[in-house]
């Protein structure tokens, strides 16, 4: 009998296939004591396993490229963290085996992160994966991960580590469903980049029996267990209709009555550029430069290395717009040379622009590198600061840009409610705003973006979040300036229409989402988008907001 489960759809498309479960996590190794004369040998085993796992993660990253590479390289850095390794050595010195020393050291660090209000929950998931891989190598058992199968299937997991998501084979993994995670988690972002239908935050998914036939709708977040032939036909037709619409969609983003809405790409570096160009991106709305800095947490990349990376991206969009976010470090992206080590609550501490203003040499070098990279190119360079709280922040950033001789537009990201509430004040110092809806939702609802238990509050359809978007867009319009969205909210085609109706002037997203958004925008007039936006803001919940917008756009 057909039953329906509902989670959070995070990657468009429909997948129909049998359930396969992620390989089980490594069992806790026994707590047996070793003689003192074996400690040195066990320490050597532990270090060899750590280096092997780090090398494997880096190799996976090289194969995956793009954002996935940066995420996996960051995981490799976790494996080799000197403090963790020192803790492992201490535990082995007092009698632990190599595998038990690794397990206990990583578990202790995990408790410290989870105890910090779970603001580091995203790193906790990555830490668990690294621990399990090292322990598996030491025990000589198969790595936890994607199951072996000759037939296509739908993958079910408690959560998916970036190392698993990055190398999913879309020819075998038709889609995936996780019990945990959120719409802005690493796995969700990578799923969109791969074009694999996906649902996250679906409690009870792990209880589905191996081999059960299910249908996954990554657009609506619905999972159908033992779907009827009618349901399968309905879903297949909907997917085919969407595909046909994509095939006929091309050119700049615009509503059906000609209101232009530039569609830009989010990129992490040069490796992401080909997909953005192929998808027809009109430029880059978010160049995440922090991935360049994650190569070495001990020191910032040289000015020359930065110039080389920036120029490759800028050259790909002649006459196009490229919006660069300066280094956004801190919270879940700590850097030894920049980030305080003893902050009790990193997400609410010295991160983003705050870190850069405390280290003006790092900011100056990056701005100078951007200025050099843009020399002689016809590109429209725009540079923005993350985590701007008020006009004082905005002025400090604009002053730094001028001092570095940067010929570009200076902007501010709206990721903190105070920035949305005082947007007109901030726009006295900068020339544009860009809404980072991922962090804006996190700070508006006090809901960590990596914690599945609060995923309903991370939903970009939350009316309170739409209110903050509207405030920012209205402020920009009043000042005659632009206000874009570069958070994951822009990748939802229906929400893209609502954002347009709220007055947002450009939308930036992962390259895979651009055709979907372009095709959907082209179906509706600006007036319809405005009515849908008003209906969504009048709702009380995210679910009601989506239904209200759908009703308006479908003419109900």
Candidates 12, 186, 359, 401; catalytic one: 186
Instruction: Using alpha carbons, select from 176, 149, 182, 152 the residue that is nearest to residue 164.
Output: 176
**Tokens matching residue 137:** 């190598």
Instruction: Determine contact, residues 263/517, Cβ cutoff 8 Å.
Output: yes
Alpha-carbon distance of 199 to 15, in angstroms, equals 11
Instruction: Using alpha carbons, select from 478, 397, 489 the residue that is nearest to residue 435.
Output: 489
For residue 439, the SS3 value is helix
Alpha-carbon distance of 20 to 209, in angstroms, equals 8
All residues at 6 or more sequence positions from 480 whose CB lies less than 8 Å from its CB, including other chains? none
Map 322-367 to HEC letters: EEEECCCCECCECCCCCCCCCCCCHHHCCCCHHHHHHCHHHHHHHH
Instruction: Determine contact, residues 85/114, Cβ cutoff 8 Å.
Output: no
Alpha-carbon distance of 252 to 507, in angstroms, equals 12
Task: Kindly provide the residue ranges of all beta strands, DSSP E only, lying in 386-511, ordered along the sequence.
Answer: 409-414, 432-435, 482-485, 506-509
Q: CB atoms < 10 A from the CB of 297, how many?
A: 19
**Tokens matching residue 95:** 């009698």
> Does residue 486 carry a catalytic annotation?
yes
Q: From residue 544, give the alpha-carbon distance in Å to each of 221, 298, 502, 533, 553.
A: 15, 47, 17, 12, 14
All residues at 6 or more sequence positions from 179 whose CB lies less than 8 Å from its CB, including other chains? 157, 158, 159, 201, 202, 203, 204, 205, 206, 452
Task: Output the CA torsion 69→88→351→8 (10° steps).
Answer: 60
Alpha-carbon distance of 337 to 339, in angstroms, equals 6
Q: CB atoms < 10 A from the CB of 519, how many?
A: 19
Candidates 401, 486, 497, 529; catalytic one: 486
Catalytic residues: 186, 486
């Amino acid at each position: 009998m057909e039953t329906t489960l509902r989670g959070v759809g995070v990657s468009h498309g429909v997948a129909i296939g049998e359930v396969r479960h992620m390989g089980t996590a490594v069992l806790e190794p026994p707590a047996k004591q070793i003689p003192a004369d074996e400690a040195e040998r066990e320490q050597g085993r532990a270090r060899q396993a750590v280096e092997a796992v780090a090398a494997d993660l880096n190799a996976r990253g090289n194969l995956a490229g793009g954002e996935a590479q940066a995420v996996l390289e960051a995981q490799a850095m976790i494996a080799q963290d000197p403090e963790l390794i020192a803790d492992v050595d201490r535990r082995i010195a007092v009698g632990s085996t190599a595998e038990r020393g690794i397990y206990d050291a990583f578990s202790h660090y995990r408790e410290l992160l989870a105890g910090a209000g779970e603001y580091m929950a995203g790193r906790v998931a990555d830490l668990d994966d690294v621990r399990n891989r090292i322990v598996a190598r030491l025990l000589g058992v198969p790595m936890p991960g994607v199951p072996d199968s000759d037939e296509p299937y739908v993958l079910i997991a408690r959560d998916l580590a970036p190392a698993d998501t990055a190398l999913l084979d879309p020819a075998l993994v038709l889609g995936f469903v996780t019990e945990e995670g959120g719409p802005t988690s690493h796995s969700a972002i990578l799923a969109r980049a791969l074009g694999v239908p996906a649902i996250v935050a679906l409690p009870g998914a792990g209880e589905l029996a191996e081999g059960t036939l299910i249908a996954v709708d990554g657009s609506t977040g619905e999972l159908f267990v033992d779907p009827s032939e009618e349901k399968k036909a309905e879903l297949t037709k909907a997917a085919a209709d969407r595909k046909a619409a994509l095939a006929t969609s091309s050119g700049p983003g615009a509503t059906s009555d000609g209101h232009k809405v530039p569609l830009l790409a989010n990129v992490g570096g040069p490796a992401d550029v080909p997909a953005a160009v192929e998808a027809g991106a009109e430029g880059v709305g978010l160049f995440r430069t922090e991935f360049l800095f994650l190569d070495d947490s001990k020191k910032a990349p040289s000015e020359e290395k930065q110039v080389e990376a920036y120029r490759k991206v800028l050259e790909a969009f002649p006459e196009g717009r490229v919006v660069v976010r300066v280094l956004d470090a801190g919270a879940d992206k700590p850097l030894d040379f920049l980030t305080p080590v003893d902050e009790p609550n990193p997400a609410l501490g010295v991160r983003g622009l705050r870190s850069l203003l405390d280290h003006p040499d790092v900011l100056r070098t990056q701005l100078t590198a951007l200025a050099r990279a843009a020399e002689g190119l016809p590109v429209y360079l725009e540079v923005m600061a993350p985590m701007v709280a008020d006009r004082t922040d905005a002025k400090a950033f604009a002053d730094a840009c001028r001092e570095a001789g940067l010929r570009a537009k200076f902007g501010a990201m709206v990721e903190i409610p105070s920035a949305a509430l005082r947007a007109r004040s901030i726009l006295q110092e900068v020339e544009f705003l860009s809404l980072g809806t991922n962090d804006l939702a996190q700070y508006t609802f006090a809901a960590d973006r990596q914690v599945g238990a609060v995923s309903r509050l991370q939903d970009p359809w939350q009316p309170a979040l739409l209110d903050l978007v509207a405030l920012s867009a209205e402020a920009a319009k009043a000042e005659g300036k632009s206000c874009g969205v570069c958070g994951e909210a822009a990748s939802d085609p229906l929400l893209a229409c609502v954002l347009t109706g709220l007055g947002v002037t450009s939308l930036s997203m992962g390259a895979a989402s651009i055709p979907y958004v372009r095709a959907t925008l082209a179906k509706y007039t600006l007036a319809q988008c405005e009515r849908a936006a008003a209906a969504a803001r009048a709702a009380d919940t995210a679910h009601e907001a989506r239904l209200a917008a759908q009703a308006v756009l479908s003419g109900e």
